[in-house]
Amino acid sequence: MEDYGDDLLNDLASSEDETETETHKLNEIVNTGVLGFSSRVLPLVPLLLKQVKYYTNEEEMDYLELIDDGTENKEYKFILHINEVSHNIREEVEELDSIIKSQYKVVFPELETLIKNPVDYVRIVKLIQGNLNNIKDFEVQLQTILPNEKVLLVLMAALQQERKNEELDDTIPNVNWQEISVLCNNLLELEDLIAQLNNFISVKLLKFAPNVTELIGPIATSQLLLAVGSLKQLAQTPSCNIPSLGMKEMSSSTTSNNVTHNTKRNTGYLYHTPLVQYLPNDVVKQAMRILSGKIVLAARIDLAKGSSDGTIGRKYSIDVQSKLEKLLTPPENVGDKALPIPIDKKSKKRGGKRFRKMKERMGMSELRKAQNKMAFGKQEDTIMDSFGEEIGLGMSKGVKGINTNTGAVMSKGLANRLKKLELLGKSANDLDLSFKESQLVNGISRKRKNDGQAHNVKPKKLKNTEK
């Protein structure tokens, strides 16, 4: 943070030369702290406010410049710096708050639990200080700070505390009211500064990137712009990269095997936007995905200077919210689905032309059927196959007609070979045994072949597999 303070000082000093002397003066003031607290931001307040005022009043802005290359523009730079400052201011507010609480504890310990908001707390402390017994006098003033029921709570708690103190005969220990009130003023001043800065940023960004601002708020918008560099670059960033912008622990968790390893992925700027922050863990990833898609779209609209009043951004925001609502609704509790009644239905498939054809194709040929039959009182003709097995021919000799249902086509090679054999003459005796056998088995084929229609003959191979 120290580095940052110096950075900012240098930065601001260089941006406006006239403030240089002031910053030196301020540097001297920095070290004068109260109750061990020395602020790094407080001395910068006047400077910051001055800048804010300067830029707020500056009406003529070249936004084109911002779009093209934001790094050159001083105001843009200042806006980006405010992000860092506001982070530091928050840290300091927390620090101040804890110091004030530890100081005020001795007077009114219960107030801490009643009032969570540091600003309200500090205002009450400033108001009542040690006068717990006269607390009723402050009722009207308290009502301006707190809602009525809270006022009642504080009053009752204060009176109770007072009684307790009386019982114990405990006088309020010496508290340096002056120092406390200084701290209180500091805190209020810082809070005021935050509000002013936020206001400034939102006003500026509303002009600059109205749709993105409408969607995720000015702070996150400026953070994202800071991370990517400019609106143009934001519009060009793939939406899947946006959740990882502004991640802090990435480098530390990878380099050292820390125990505090971050289990969640992509806890960047987007993760800390109010829209995502309070979502349950299981939808965060999806919410960021939805949101970052819309951010890029909105950035493109802003870049094209469309919808300058932010209506589309607002529409996107509503869309995203409705989507998130849908994500958050619990799934409908559907009971077990009853099984269907286990009735075995008959297959609806009956015969038909195509089915019959298929059956015929797979079925036995007439020839094969005939081969399986035997004539009474006659010796069966047999042949020997290449394995030396005797194959009976049955009554296949007289069968006519060829099974055309098989759709078998003779290959060109086979047709050629058969043709050659034919050309060699009818010297069938010279042919090898298997061929002869096949000729015998389909006697019809020989007849056909003799007619010169060899290509219609069933291939030899098919016949053999049929056995």
Partner 1 sequence: MGSIFLPNLRTGWHVDQAILLEDDRLVIIRFGRASNRECMLMDEYLFQIAEKVKNFAAIYLCDIDDVPDFNQMYELYDPCTVMFFYRNKHMMCDFGTGNNNKLNFPIHDKQELIDIIETIYRGAIKGKGLVISPVDYSSVRRQ
Q: Which residues here bind partner 1, judged by CB under 8 A?
A: 335-344
Smallest distance from the beta carbon of 329 to partner 1, in angstroms? Answer: 24
Total residue length of the chain: 467
Exposed e or buried b for every residue in 68-105, given b needs 16+ CB within 10 A? eebeebebbebbbbbbebbebbeebbeebbebbbebbe
> 314 Cβ partners below 8 Å, 6+ apart?
214
- Cβ closer to partner 1: 17 or 336? 336
- Cβ closer to partner 1: 325 or 344? 344
Mapping DSSP to helix (H, G, I), strand (E, B) and coil, where does residue 391 land? strand
- Is residue 125 within 8 A of residue 180, CB to CB? The reply is yes
To 10 degrees, the CA torsion angle through 401, 405, 408, 409?
70
Smallest distance from the beta carbon of 93 to partner 1, in angstroms? Answer: 54
DSSP 8-state assignment for residue 34? B
To 10 degrees, the CA torsion angle through 399, 451, 439, 362?
-60
Phi/psi of residue 193, nearest 5 degrees: -60, -45
DSSP 8-state assignment for residue 209? S
Element (H, E) at 244: none
C-alpha to C-alpha distance for 90 and 41, rounded to whole angstroms: 10
- Is residue 269 within 8 A of residue 215, CB to CB? The reply is no
- Is residue 376 within 8 A of residue 395, CB to CB? The reply is no
Smallest distance from the beta carbon of 121 to partner 1, in angstroms? Answer: 51
Smallest distance from the beta carbon of 431 to partner 1, in angstroms? Answer: 59
Structure tokens at 348: 């609806």
Smallest distance from the beta carbon of 335 to partner 1, in angstroms? Answer: 6
C-alpha to C-alpha distance for 123 and 110, rounded to whole angstroms: 15
Smallest distance from the beta carbon of 344 to partner 1, in angstroms? Answer: 6
- Cβ closer to partner 1: 329 or 347? 347
Smallest distance from the beta carbon of 340 to partner 1, in angstroms? Answer: 7
What sign has the CA pseudo-torsion 66, 68, 69, 73?
Answer: negative
Which residues are paired to 34 by β-bridges? 37
Smallest distance from the beta carbon of 332 to partner 1, in angstroms? Answer: 16
- Cβ closer to partner 1: 340 or 401? 340
- Is residue 10 within 8 A of residue 20, CB to CB? The reply is no
> 29 Cβ partners below 8 Å, 6+ apart?
43
- Cβ closer to partner 1: 341 or 362? 341
- Cβ closer to partner 1: 2 or 332? 332
- Cβ closer to partner 1: 341 or 423? 341
C-alpha to C-alpha distance for 139 and 144, rounded to whole angstroms: 9
Smallest distance from the beta carbon of 341 to partner 1, in angstroms? Answer: 5
The H-assigned helical ranges of 304-408 are 311-328, 353-362, 366-371
C-alpha to C-alpha distance for 389 and 385, rounded to whole angstroms: 5
- Cβ closer to partner 1: 304 or 338? 338
- Cβ closer to partner 1: 64 or 341? 341
Name the amino acid, one letter, at 254.
T
- Cβ closer to partner 1: 340 or 413? 340
Mapping DSSP to helix (H, G, I), strand (E, B) and coil, where does residue 384 land? strand
Smallest distance from the beta carbon of 347 to partner 1, in angstroms? Answer: 16
Strand pairing category for 382-384 and 390-392: antiparallel
Smallest distance from the beta carbon of 330 to partner 1, in angstroms? Answer: 21
- Cβ closer to partner 1: 336 or 432? 336
Smallest distance from the beta carbon of 337 to partner 1, in angstroms? Answer: 7
- Cβ closer to partner 1: 342 or 401? 342
> 258 Cβ partners below 8 Å, 6+ apart?
252
